[in-house]
Amino acid sequence: MVDLIASPGDPIWRQYVPTVQELEVHDGLVDSLDEDANSPVPNITHRYPDRALFLVSPVCAAYCRFCTRRRKVGDPEKIPMAQLESAFRYLEEHHEIRDVIMSGGDPLLLSDRRIDDICKRLRAIPHLEVLRIGSRVPCHLPERVTPELCAILKQYHPLYINTHFNHPDELTPAAVRALGMLADAGIPLGCQTVLLKGVNDDPEVMKLLMQRLLTARVRPYYIYMCDQVAGAEHFRTTVEKGLEIIKALRGWTSGLAVPHFVIDAPGGGGKIPLLPEYVVKLTDTEIVLRNYAGKTYRYSQPVEPILVG
């Protein structure tokens, strides 16, 4: 668990301690992303052309109050390998898939042996170029990241891990050590953060989180608008708040610390990026731009060469 003490109302407390606000269901949605519509076989979500989500674990590292999969609980070994056969066959038969994201739940809550078996099966599929793992374990259970686990993962490069931190206080010494072990095993690390009211909906808090992630050798990857999850309305901010935060990052800190700001579109539309408005005017001859400090600049469009006959 995270090695810090949370107090009622602070950002850590708000993320993990239930409140009566969760009983307020405004839209009745439990899974607004409609993953089942893109699930051709059990445990596979194939929404994008060249990549697929492979659900390998039914249990999360933490009971997230703002996740579409927060309902998935149980024994991390509950899905037997035999039950994953249809998913492996689907990946073998679909040569357009080059990138597989292992998710769940949380894949790193599986045993070392199960992780090894799954990665070995995936690496035996010639057209799968990249393996990815989505995990909250480095934040919530950093003790799970052991030399043995790192040695297993190191065998299956190129392998990437996207982890999930929402507040700078979650980057505890134990979490930073775990991230360091994974990075030392040659695993590129990214972070997917969710914009949450009362947790990180402050430009300075978010900037500090992104900077500390970079220091821990984690590249900020996405900031998500909170999903439209039943009982999580109290966590949702306005889209304008997210744009304000991105505007406070871009130009004011390293470009490496500026993630993509996206909405995972309801109904299975996928991730749609949003940016503050930097284009003032666009014509055939020039573009007028506004930079991070609010100053405007002109950039000329290319002039077509005059052909001499």
- Ramachandran area for residue 202 (φ above 0: left; ψ -120 to 50: alpha; else beta): beta
Q: 212 an active-site residue?
A: no
Q: Is residue 264 annotated as a catalytic residue, yes or no? A: yes
Q: Is 284 a catalytic residue?
A: no
Given the residues 71, 89, 113, 271, the one annotated as active site: 271
Decide if 56 contacts 103 (C-beta within 8 A).
Answer: yes
- Residues 161 and 106: their CA atoms lie apart, in Å, by 12
Q: Active site includes 156?
A: no
Contact indicator for 116, 102 with CB cutoff of 8 Å: no
User: Which one of 65, 69, 207, 247 is the catalytic residue?
Assistant: 69
Annotated catalytic residue within 10, 16, 34, 47: 47
Catalytic, 227? Answer: yes
DSSP-derived pairing of the beta strands 189-195 and 286-290: unpaired
Of 14, 64, 90, 139, which residue is the catalytic one? 64
* Known catalytic residue at 67: yes
Cβ contacts of 45 within 8 Å, gap of 6 or more = 35, 38, 39, 52, 53, 55
Catalytic annotation present for 271: yes
Instruction: Note whether 50 and 44 are within 8 A (CB).
Output: no
Is there a contact between 172 and 202 (Cβ–Cβ < 8 Å)? no
Q: Is 14 a catalytic residue?
A: no
Catalytic residue among 65, 67, 160, 201: 67
> Among 232, 224, 205, which residue's Cα sits nearest to residue 71?
232
For 196, list phi and psi in degrees, rounded to 5.
-130, 130
Burial of residue 8 (CB within 10 Å: 0-12, 13-18, 19+) is exposed
Check 10, 16, 31, 48 and give the catalytic one.
48
CB within 8 Å of 269: residues ≥ 6 apart: none
C-alpha distance from residue 231 to each of 11, 21, 33, 226, 259 (Å): 18, 7, 16, 12, 27
Exactly one of 51, 65, 70, 236 is catalytic; which is it? 51
- What φ, ψ does residue 262 adopt, rounded to 5°? -135, 155
- Determine which one of 60, 139, 191, 226 is catalytic: 60
Any idea which residues carry the catalytic annotation?
Answer: 47-48, 51, 60, 64, 67, 69, 227, 264, 271
